[in-house]
Amino acid sequence: MGGKADRIADLSGRPLGVRALQKRRRLLDATRALLDERGLRELRVADIARAVGASPGTFYQYFADVEDAVLHLAAEANAELPPLLTLFEGSWRGREGRDRARAVVDFFMAYWDRHGPILRIRNLAADEGDMRFMELRGAAMMPILAAMVALMQRSGAAERNPEFDPDAAALAMSAILDRLAAYHRVVENDVSHESLVNTSADILLRTLTGR
């Protein structure tokens, strides 16, 4: 993308050697770990640094602030999405369609189970208008939305009726996937995991294929 090879750099733009890369990685890992157990609000830079035996100054050499580190973690999470896209390809008829729909739902839940704390912060920041996070979320969603729209067009669901816009429908489906994946653990006191997956998959299947 950029003119030079995109080596990972510190805040002043200096490309990193191996030692620095390791420190940076461990700082990111520690950020993620502390985020998982405490949430953003109780996350202190000093704790992250201490967790990897570094001083606060080292953290600030690589990241402008905690949010900046979360931004990088969110970018890494984006890299795990491409396998999802293949699920939308091929036939979505009959039993195969049902299985594919379910696989999509499963994928999202697993993805959010792994990255929930980071994705939540990403979404909040994006919703609050932070451009960097908006772009990241856009990059994550766009291919998925496009795959859904393509499927609707292939299957004829797109011309269902004049009220129905495939782009909007794709947004609605991703809303279901995101939101339910985000809190499925909480609601599973009242609704079984099975039901949640089956029903979401059912709605997804109907909407994307027009039945």
Partner DNA sequence: GCAAGATCTGACGAACCGTCAGATAATTTG
Partner DNA sequence: CAAATTATCTGACGGTTCGTCAGATCTTGC
Residues in the site for DNA, rule: CB under 7 A?
10, 14, 16-20, 22-23, 43-46, 49, 53-58, 60-61, 64-66
Distance CA 56, CA 165 (A): 50
9, β-bridge pairs: 15
Q: How far is the CB of 3 from a copy of itself (least distance, A)?
A: 29
Contacts of 83 (CB under 8 A, 6+ apart): 107
Q: How far is the CB of 205 from a copy of itself (least distance, A)?
A: 9
- From residue 50, alpha-carbon distances to 30, 32, 37, 65 in Å are 9, 14, 16, 16
Residue span binding a copy of itself (CB under 8 A) among the ranges 12-20, 45-53, 74-82, 169-177: 169-177
Q: How far is the CB of 5 from DNA (least distance, A)?
A: 15
Question: Toward a copy of itself, which CB reaches closer, 76 or 127?
Answer: 127
- From residue 53, alpha-carbon distances to 50, 57, 171, 183 in Å are 5, 12, 44, 34
Examine residue 191 and tell whether it contacts a copy of itself (CB under 8 A): yes
Count the residues in the chain: 211
Q: How far is the CB of 190 from a copy of itself (least distance, A)?
A: 7
Examine residue 199 and tell whether it contacts a copy of itself (CB under 8 A): yes
